[in-house]
Structure 1
Amino acid sequence: MKFALSSLSTAMIAVMLMGLSVPTFANTENGTQKGDKQSNGLNLSTLTDPITHKKVENSYPLEVSSFLSLEQAQDILLQVSPKLAANQAAIAASNYQTDALKTIDNPFVFAQVSANAYTLQEDIDLSTLKNGVINGVNNVGAGVGDVVGDIIPPTPNLPNFGELIGERLPDSYDFKRSGTRASVGVGVVWPVYTAGRTTTLTGLSEARTQETVADGILDKNELYNTLIERYFKAQLAIIAAYLRDDAYDTLQQTDHMAKRLFEEGFISRVDRLEAQSALANANSEAVNANNDARLAMIALQRLLRTDYRIKPTTPLFVSSRPLPDVNYFQDLALHHHPGLQKVAAKRAQAQQLHALSDTGHKPTVMLYGYGQLEEKPSWVAGVSASWKLWGGLDKTAALASSSAKIRQADLSEIEVSDNLLLLVEKNWHDVNNAQSRYQALQSNVDLSAEVLRLRRLGLQEGVNTTVEVVQSQTQYLKARTEQAQAANSYVQALAALMQSCGTPLAFNAYLNAADIRLPALYKE
């Protein structure tokens, strides 16, 4: 083909990882799962993504051939897809959140250290206190004088003791103190009974992790289906370009023959011009088909994040054997589809919220203690229990809300199951229809090939015209192209069926068991 590259090329692309303890899928030899980056001896660094040219941290180079089978492309997709890497990071974050909540009811031990400096300064008014003292002393002195006067005659010119004392008391006092103080203490708080709130919170986080995992599986299955779509669309485009090139070569021969026959006077000038026009059209269509093939290969290249075109080596295929009964695939969907796993995770979250709402008026019991580490240490310890008597969220409304969410999840499971069963049946019929169409088109291919052979012989003998040869060539090209399209329809329908069952990799088993394989330009 005109666009084919003659040599095998390899390049290094960035494999995206999530973190120190998140397992990677990278293995440049066989694509199998391996342990974390410390255990598998990889030298992680920052590399440049070949598509966006952005820096990607925690990555390592991966050698990828430009000739890839479907299974090889699937292994590489797991390693280079940023969407899958982002999903793995989300799952890791959710798992870490669950681990963090598991220790929420453990004893909480804390240390407290304080150091401070202080200055206290105040002008204290003593006038009121002073007057009170003077009056008090005078009152006491008067009382004593009356009692003594009854016994002993009064003595003139005795001093006023209240005034004497008042003279010695100031009207105000300037108070000023400064210094430093340091203290060290250790305390502990232990929630010994939380009415199951901590367990419920942990269960809620685990249910959210399950939902994140289900979303990740949905994305991975969709990526598998996208890969198959682009991989075999590229293969179909390559076949179409090859057929157009082949038709162009055949029409070149027809044009050369028409030229000779015209020069020898066996055909008219009109026949000669029609041969030239058909050749020009064939050339234009061949160029367009080659461009379409390049575009399809670039789409595959973008998905696998290489800076060169990927050339598929797995051919289009069709199996002549009938599929198992539709009930078999419907059972697979009900047991394996991640959409149902997501609904189950939603229901588990609603159940945990219901349990949490039910603890609204139950007590929380805590042990506590605190001690200061000084020359003369002091400490305090005790137990406390608290109840919510009124206020906050309405427990009845909260329980009703969580019950409604549980019912919503149950009804959603029924709806999702119904839609899955219908989708599986639709895809199952699409596979069977594509299989029947491919087999029916085989007779058209055989018939058009024989007609073309006879028309070309007739042109040499002067029995047929160039127009008839061109028409026969067009019919043959159309029959082979339609059959290749039917094979691609079979492949795409089979991939959709496997995705709707939640088992996208089961596609590979049907691929390996297929008994009809179309020619492939590129070989492993």
Structure 2
Amino acid sequence: MTRPRHVPRPLLLVVLALLGWGGTALAQLQQAPPPRNDGTLSLSFDAARARMIDRSDKLAAARAAVESKELQGEGVKGLGGPVVSISGLAYAYNANLNLDLDPLNQKLGQIGSSLPPSIQGFIARVPIPQLPNSYTLNRHDTGANASVSAVWPLYVGGATDAVRGFVSAQTREAQADAEQAGHEVDTLLVQRYFGAQLAQRAATLRAQAERTIAQHDSAAQKMLAAGVISRVERLQASAAYEEARRNARKAEDDAALAAVALARTVRADGSVMPQTPLFVISAPVEPLGYFIDSALTRHPGLDKVAAKKSQAEQLHEGEEALRRPQVIAFGTRELKSGNADWVAGVGVRWTLYDSIDRNALSAASLKQVEQAERTGAQARSDISLLVERNWRALENARRQYLEMKVSVELAQEVVRLRTSGLREGTSTTLDLIDAETNQAKVLTERAQAANDYVQALAQLLESAGLSDRFSDYIARADVRVN
């Protein structure tokens, strides 16, 4: 069945009056919804970033890790110095000693037999007293004692320096992790801040397209009743309306989820309305070499690798320190007046033989140093490649956005022509529906291209260690997608 190409002009005037056409379709698509007065938090990108930095659990955890390592460094700063301690004790004791007196009694009985006979007779008349069979001696007392002692490692082969250096390297690693966490949350904020705008813009365009196509669908029903269009065209208009409704509901759900993600990123109780629009810098940014040089000096991943290498070097130095002699000074003295006991001296210890193979352990620690060096070289290569990939992605997004200007102008012109053609009877309702649907699609795609540019810029700055300069590029933008 062929579609009628000419519609009676009086009926068209009635339809146009019902739809309220007259060049308003494009204005409806581009019009932003009025701001809501429902307590929504309006934030610029800088304000959102400040709020996120202040409330981010990830950044707080990274800062706590750095502070922990810094405190450890303070704790071992005096390692290797003298150690002075005081000790005291109070005591009480009770001691019993059992004495067997039977042997002594026997000896006393035998004394008379060894004397002269005249004396034996005398002793016989005098009874010798008997001792008890046993006797228990008891001794008990209480007392107290106190002393002060000091130990001073004079030389331990550099082990204390190795420990301090190892803890310092761990602190630098924690600082690198914290800096990397800062770059990551900056990139995450860009994703969610501008992604929420894109999702809301898409939802707005889809909703406006749904309302416009609903008007076309209603007009198509009236035109079918008047016999102006065929039933097939009426069904096509209904199908287009149903598709517009599905797209609008999906876009609305996506926008709601994106809004929740942004609110949770900045720790807002309610919804957040971004104030900084999507943007594009129409001119190319700095050349690739600028970002690669920055990455090789500022990327926290390289700082972490350097800290790992320093830790391996300090572990190797610690292994070597165990092979050297140790010299300590020591002393202790009782804390009492008068003739107190004391001792002082110097001790030397040098392990001549050990069942542990120190040469193998030293070689193992040197391999760890080599591993860190190789890892650093690979990291520099990978980071340079990552920077180049992100730089090229940014350039592609910039060109794509600028080149889509023709597509937007074409879609707008097609809508204008279809609207005019419907007035003149050279176009159908379905033609106009297709043109307006395509215009919404093209506008959404160009907004997506702007978001691709913003996200590519955030990725490039993160890989170059420049995430904190994102706001500088916002200020340089000469295209803003309002």
CA contact (8 A) 2:458 2:467 kept: yes
SS in structure 2 of the partner of residue 354 of structure 1: helix
Deviation per residue, 1:438-490 (Å, 9 max, x gap)? 11211011001110111012112221111111111122112111111111111
Deviation per residue, 1:75-131 (Å, 9 max, x gap)? 111111111111111111111111111122232222222111111112134667888
CA contact (8 A) 1:320 1:516 kept: yes
In the other structure, the counterpart of 2:163 is 201
In the other structure, the counterpart of 1:7 is 37
Are 1:463 and 2:426 an aligned pair? yes
In the other structure, the counterpart of 2:3 is none
In the other structure, the counterpart of 1:312 is 274
SS in structure 2 of the partner of residue 7 of structure 1: coil
Q: Return the offset for 1:157.
A: 4.1
Q: Return the offset for 1:265.
A: 4.4
Change (3 A) 1:179 1:287: same
The one-letter amino acid of 2:398's match is Q
Are 1:296 and 2:263 an aligned pair? no
Are 1:428 and 2:423 an aligned pair? no
SS in structure 2 of the partner of residue 378 of structure 1: coil
Change (3 A) 1:364 1:8: farther
SS in structure 2 of the partner of residue 124 of structure 1: strand
Superposition map of 1:216-295 within 5 A: 216-259=178-221, 261-262=223-224, 264-295=226-257
Deviation per residue, 1:53-73 (Å, 9 max, x gap)? xxxxxxxxxxxxx11111111
The one-letter amino acid of 1:494's match is L
Change (3 A) 1:126 1:361: farther
Are 1:442 and 2:405 an aligned pair? yes
CA contact (8 A) 1:244 1:285 kept: yes
Q: How well do the aligned residues superpose, as a CA RMSD in angstroms? A: 3.0
CA contact (8 A) 2:42 2:275 kept: yes
In the other structure, the counterpart of 2:373 is 410
CA distance in 2, matches of 1:197, 1:112: 28
Q: Percent identity?
A: 36
SS in structure 2 of the partner of residue 381 of structure 1: strand
Superposition map of 1:125-164 within 5 A: 125=100, 156-159=117-120
In the other structure, the counterpart of 2:442 is 479
Moved more, 339-348 or 98-107: 98-107
Are 1:83 and 2:58 an aligned pair? yes
Consecutive unaligned residues in structure 1, runs of 5 or more = 11-65, 146-154, 520-524
CA distance in 2, matches of 1:3, 1:113: 81
Change (3 A) 1:134 1:337: farther
Q: Return the offset for 1:234.
A: 0.6
The one-letter amino acid of 1:70's match is F
Are 1:124 and 2:89 an aligned pair? no
CA contact (8 A) 2:105 2:130 kept: no
Change (3 A) 1:355 1:168: farther
CA contact (8 A) 2:49 2:266 kept: no
CA contact (8 A) 2:82 2:152 kept: yes
CA contact (8 A) 1:122 1:174 kept: yes
TM-score, with structure 2 as normaliser: 0.85
Q: Return the offset for 1:133.
A: 10
In the other structure, the counterpart of 1:515 is 478
Deviation per residue, 1:472-524 (Å, 9 max, x gap)? 112211211111111111111111111111111222222211111101xxxxx
CA distance in 2, matches of 1:323, 1:2: 30
Are 1:95 and 2:70 an aligned pair? yes
Change (3 A) 1:394 1:100: farther
Change (3 A) 1:461 1:132: farther
Q: Return the offset for 1:395.
A: 2.4
In the other structure, the counterpart of 1:355 is 317
Q: Return the offset for 1:382.
A: 1.6
The one-letter amino acid of 2:75's match is A
SS in structure 1 of the partner of residue 475 of structure 2: helix
CA contact (8 A) 1:87 1:216 kept: yes
CA contact (8 A) 1:274 1:466 kept: no
SS in structure 2 of the partner of residue 383 of structure 1: strand
State which of 322, 326, 338 in structure 2 corresponds to 1:364: 326
CA contact (8 A) 1:428 1:497 kept: yes
Whose RCO is larger (CA < 8 A, sep 6+)?
2
The one-letter amino acid of 1:391's match is D
Q: Return the offset for 1:168.
A: 7.0
Consecutive unaligned residues in structure 2, runs of 5 or more = 1-30
Change (3 A) 1:457 1:262: farther
Change (3 A) 1:229 1:173: same
Moved more, 386-395 or 329-338: 386-395
Q: Return the offset for 1:176.
A: 0.9
CA distance in 1, matches of 2:183, 2:102: 90
Q: Return the offset for 1:270.
A: 3.8
The one-letter amino acid of 1:104's match is L
Give the number of equivalent residue pairs.
450
Q: Return the offset for 1:191.
A: 2.1
Change (3 A) 1:517 1:117: same
Superposition map of 1:99-110 within 5 A: 99-110=74-85
Are 1:401 and 2:431 an aligned pair? no
CA contact (8 A) 1:330 1:421 kept: yes
SS in structure 2 of the partner of residue 183 of structure 1: strand
Are 1:71 and 2:46 an aligned pair? yes
CA distance in 2, matches of 1:333, 1:130: 102
